[in-house]
Structure 1
Amino acid sequence: MEEVSLLVDATSRLSEPFLLVIVGEFNSGKSTVINALLGRKYLKDGVVPTTNEITLLCYSDNDSIEQERCERHPDGQFICYISAPMLKEMNLVDTPGTNVILQRQQRLTEEFVPRADLILFILSADRPLTESEVAFLQYVQQWKKKVVFVLNKMDIYRSNSELEEAISFVKENTKRLLNAEEVTLFPVSARSALEAKLSLPFPDRTNNEHVLINHPQWGSSKFQDFQNYLLSFMDASTANGKERIRLKMETPVGIADRVLSSCERFVKIELENAVGDLKSIDDLVGSVKEYGLKLEAESNGWKKQILSLIEKAKTRAVNLMESILQLSNLDLIFVYMFKGEKSSSAPATSSVQNEILGPALSDVQSLLGEYSRWLHSSNTEEAHRYLDNFHKKWDSLIEQREMVWSDPQALVRSDEELSVKVLENFNAGSASRVFEKEIREVALGTFGGLGAAGLSASLLTSVLSTTLEDLLALAFCSAGGFLVISNFPGRRKEANEKIEKVADALTQEVEQAMKKDLIQSTEKLAQFVKSISKPYRDAAQQKIKRLELIQAELANTERKIKNLKVDIKFPW
């Protein structure tokens, strides 16, 4: 960033006319003071169109009064070109009343006051320091401008003591308002001074101190001290002349200092906002983890429902196995024992497939499908929420072309739904054949080694109706047959455990697949959020870096301004 544009070279200001801005309450006598200084009624009805205008009085080298003119510039400002000698080195700014300035004349407060080399504050003796004048002084104070006070209409006081009391009142209050140790104040009667000058022929109204010295109105107006004070600013050999140079140089530096302070405050706020934006962006990206935990908690409900269906199917299959593998069901057991693996399934096996596994797997598959759709729907909704948050909060950070317009629905969809795949790879018919195989192995393992006597004794149990009769029949079995049959409960338990193991393996596989789907879904969302946040994050970081560079340059400029202030204060 270049140095503050208003920090112009102070020496270049020396060639410009001294800018004197005249302010005061309406009817305080500003125009009369100006006319008395210039020696003629330049400001009167018909010359300046309205008292609510700012008028700049500049020098014109035309000696003829007819050549003097006032004109409105395109920017709305009135400029009067006058041949008064005082204006060769000094421009005067005549202003409306301070109440009008504060309410409507933003241009004066933002343009002329900051550029003024000296502010001439006209107070009316009949009402010094009105509310609007105090408010305007408080505004001027922030620019640290030199203010000279003129207590006009002093002739209304009946005695010197009344005048001194008024002077003391004004000085005490203005010192407090301007936070100054001393203030410069001139009590005058501008009307008496103007009348004294108007009584002289036109050519003698300017450099006419020797002519006016004996004029009674001029002496009583006390205007001579005030006029000499202003004229001394034009003489570089006087203390006031040197002060004029210092004030002229201080004006751009003061403006730059004021603007610099505003820039520093603005940049500080902007930097704090940019750092806050970056933190908020990072926090929003990091909040995906919290969303993942919330999603995991909600997915537990789905998992309980799905695993409950598998558990119920396992329990029914084990119960069916238990009901088949009873010694009272030897006829059915021998059916399984003598059936070949390639023969058609027994009715009980069909029951496992059609009544237990088939419906259970269908319900589980349906729930897993709903679970996958729920995951995708939740992610899509969350992705839209993140996208809206970024667009609403930080669109001002980036250009329109940098915005992410990707479709969240497509980006957060999983490549494959693992939990659904698990059920697709699990075949109810194969599981039913495993069920049948386990029954056959129990039958063969239990009864395959029996002899004829043992087999006959065993067959007896198939026609006995009670457990006691079973035991009596077993008592007639051979010793070897009894030992073999005694293994029957253990083998039945093993068969049940195998069924449970298959079911538990499926449960574990479904549970792991659901967890992987959940993790994959959350990671997809995290990738999406990271992707859409990148241009915003990059823009915030670039803004922080840019503002930090500006801060460094402002600090460097501040050092230069401080050095200039020292040089201006002690120029020789």
Structure 2
Amino acid sequence: MQGEFNSGKSSVINALLGERYLKEGVVPTTNEITFLRYMDLDFGEQRCETQPDGQYICYLPAPILKEMTIVDTPGTNVILQRQQRLTEEFVPRADLLLFVLSADRPLTASEIAFLRYSQQWKKKVVFVLNKVDIYQNTRELEEALSFIKDNIQRLLNAEDVILYPVSARSALEAKLLSPSNEELPVSASHYDVSNFYKLENFLFSFLDGSTIPGMDRMRLKLETPIVIADKLISACETLVTQDYRYAKQDLSAVNDVVNGVNDFAMNMETESLSWRRQTLSLIETTTSRVVEQVEATLRVSNFDIIASYVFNGEKHTTPATSRIQNDIIGPSVLAAQSILEEYGKWLGSKNTQQGRLYKDSLEKRWPLLVSENSLMNFETYELLTKVDQSGSQVIENFNRSAASKSFEQEFREMFVETFGQLGVAGLSASLLTSVLPTTLEDLLALGLCSAGGYLAVLNFPNRRQSVIDKVKKRGDTLAYELEEAMKKDFTEAIENLDTFVRVISKPYQDQVQNRLNRLVVMQEELSNIERKLRTLQIEIQNLNVS
């Protein structure tokens, strides 16, 4: 039985019991949920006890308790939250809610709130308007009844509202005047008392399974576990859906760490490009210096070098070749090796730093898996610092001595092939053209030259350009090989980081994926249970048909 305190709940119960067993008053008199049960005692006696589970039970000799257990609950407007919680927890267990309203303040805010709460359990509610003896006439009573019914239908979306207007005190007094205490005396036939008699008849009919109200009771009683199961299923589905969403977020977070290597690679590519440009600039500068030295050496005016190659056939290295090897190529090779060594350290350092960031990120989000990940072997961590140094290998394979000898050979071949057939006079006349300051003098000198000398001098610039083109081609080839090697080092470093991240991420991915798989199974199981509940609910509803 439910209602606000001072609505007359205790009075209604006493009227049902036919004796003043419960205290009545204008202050809250029910502090706990009280179970009223039958026990064969002397009339007027009672025995109350508190059960280990906190329930307060009173055993009374009232005959009506042979048919039912009456539960008196704290008022809907009680102050203590504990009492409110106890009341709300008990509602799902009740077969019928007898809701007592007070004629002097029907449908208060707390009553409406409680009624809305109870509707989720689809309980049968019978309203008792108590203290109707305060109304002056029938018209006031009818207005009150109409007001209450209309508001209950509107607020609770209910079609039929069962409402009994009574005066519990008058009904109790009438019962106390009846020695048998079984039915109201004829003298108590006024409206509010007779309606209390109708209320009692409804309650007994509700308990009788052969009546329509009794069938409703059976159906509601059978549906109660289903309604409770629905609530539990709904709560489980909410939790599972929420957990599934969190698991998807976790999986996305792990994948973001794995995919973050791509973003890191794009940022690293920009820095790697500056390293490659540095080495290419060094090769370009070195090539330019070699070209300048070649141009300075391959001149017709260098009579001593030409004569040495053409007539003396000397096999020793010339000063020009030594300068190319020792002053240009040698220092450049050392500089390139230094750059490439730093480049390798840079790749390893960046990988190590980024790998630790990824690892720390995973461990911070899922600290329970730290011990499992700590068992990774040394080879996994070694991936972060592993750099093949392909660029350094290209420089090491570049033989500066062989390059210098190649230049020496090309110088010798050029001079011998150009001037080897002229002889001393022809060579001297030919070389003269390169040192005469005026065009007229050049023409006079050419006049002294043989036709062969003239042609030799005429072809000399083309041969020199051929040597220069070879130098540039070698420089371009070296630059290409070095750039490709540095790209390879970069790609392998990123692949190693990617492998490392995938290895350390796998336990987290596996755990989250397994969690998702379990949640999917749980969702399917909940759906199956829900379908079975719907089938069972239909079967229960069909009980009214048979």
TM-score tier by shorter-chain length is 0.7 to 0.9
Q: Is the 8 A contact 1:333 1:439 kept in 2?
A: no
1:552 paired residue number: 524
- Structure 1 residue 247 corresponds to structure 2 residue 181: no
- Structure 1 residue 416 corresponds to structure 2 residue 391: no
Q: Is the 8 A contact 1:309 1:364 kept in 2?
A: yes
The 5 Å alignment of 1:480-559 reads: 480-559=452-531
Aligned-partner residue type, residue 158 of structure 1: Q
C-alpha separation in 2, matches of 1:193 and 1:417: 103
Secondary structure in 2 matching 1:312 = helix
Cα deviation, 1:483-525, whole Å, max 9, x if unaligned, reads 3343322221121122112211110011101111222122222
CA change 1:386–1:114 in 2 (3 A) is farther
CA change 1:377–1:100 in 2 (3 A) is farther
Q: Is the 8 A contact 1:232 1:240 kept in 2?
A: yes
Residues paired across the two proteins, number: 539
C-alpha deviation, 1:456, in angstroms: 3.9
Q: TM-score, normalised by structure 2?
A: 0.86
2:354 paired residue number: 382
The runs of 5 or more residues in structure 2 that have no matched partner are none
Q: Which has the higher contact order (CA 8 A, sep 6+)?
A: 1
2:538 paired residue number: 566
Among 161, 176, 197, the alignment partner of 1:224 is 197
C-alpha separation in 1, matches of 2:399 and 2:67: 106
The 5 Å alignment of 1:49-448 reads: 51-60=30-39, 68-71=47-50, 73=52, 75-100=53-78, 103-105=81-83, 107-108=85-86, 111-198=89-176, 204-205=180-181, 208-209=182-183, 212-215=185-188, 220=193, 222-275=195-248, 277-278=250-251, 281-282=254-255, 285-335=258-308, 338=312, 340-341=314-315, 343=316, 345-391=317-363, 395=366, 402-403=372-373, 410-448=382-420
C-alpha separation in 1, matches of 2:85 and 2:394: 78
Q: TM-score, normalised by structure 1?
A: 0.83
Secondary structure in 1 matching 2:526 = helix
Aligned-partner residue type, residue 54 of structure 1: I
More deviation, 271-280/259-268: 271-280
Q: Is the 8 A contact 1:192 1:218 kept in 2?
A: no
1:41 paired residue number: 20
CA change 1:319–1:37 in 2 (3 A) is same
Secondary structure in 2 matching 1:90 = coil
C-alpha separation in 2, matches of 1:192 and 1:514: 104
Q: Is the 8 A contact 1:196 1:217 kept in 2?
A: no
Q: Is the 8 A contact 2:67 2:207 kept in 1?
A: yes
Cα deviation, 1:13-48, whole Å, max 9, x if unaligned, reads xxxxxxxxx2212322222222222233333389x9
C-alpha deviation, 1:108, in angstroms: 3.3
CA change 1:98–1:310 in 2 (3 A) is same
C-alpha separation in 2, matches of 1:324 and 1:471: 25
1:28 paired residue number: 7
C-alpha separation in 2, matches of 1:467 and 1:432: 36
Q: Is the 8 A contact 2:369 2:507 kept in 1?
A: no
Secondary structure in 2 matching 1:209 = coil
CA change 1:312–1:88 in 2 (3 A) is farther
CA change 1:349–1:539 in 2 (3 A) is same
CA change 1:558–1:189 in 2 (3 A) is same
Secondary structure in 1 matching 2:129 = strand
C-alpha deviation, 1:50, in angstroms: 6.9
CA change 1:495–1:366 in 2 (3 A) is same
CA change 1:504–1:244 in 2 (3 A) is same
Q: Is the 8 A contact 1:461 1:470 kept in 2?
A: yes
The runs of 5 or more residues in structure 1 that have no matched partner are 1-21
Cα deviation, 1:301-342, whole Å, max 9, x if unaligned, reads 22222211211111111011111111122224445665755x
Cα deviation, 1:417-458, whole Å, max 9, x if unaligned, reads 212322233344443333333323322332333323324435
Q: Is the 8 A contact 1:71 1:79 kept in 2?
A: yes
C-alpha deviation, 1:139, in angstroms: 1.6
C-alpha separation in 2, matches of 1:147 and 1:467: 128
Secondary structure in 1 matching 2:2 = strand
Give the CA RMSD over aligned residues.
Answer: 3.5
C-alpha deviation, 1:140, in angstroms: 1.7
1:457 paired residue number: 429
C-alpha deviation, 1:404, in angstroms: 6.7
Q: Is the 8 A contact 1:35 1:41 kept in 2?
A: yes
Secondary structure in 1 matching 2:207 = coil
Q: Is the 8 A contact 1:52 1:96 kept in 2?
A: yes
Secondary structure in 1 matching 2:382 = helix
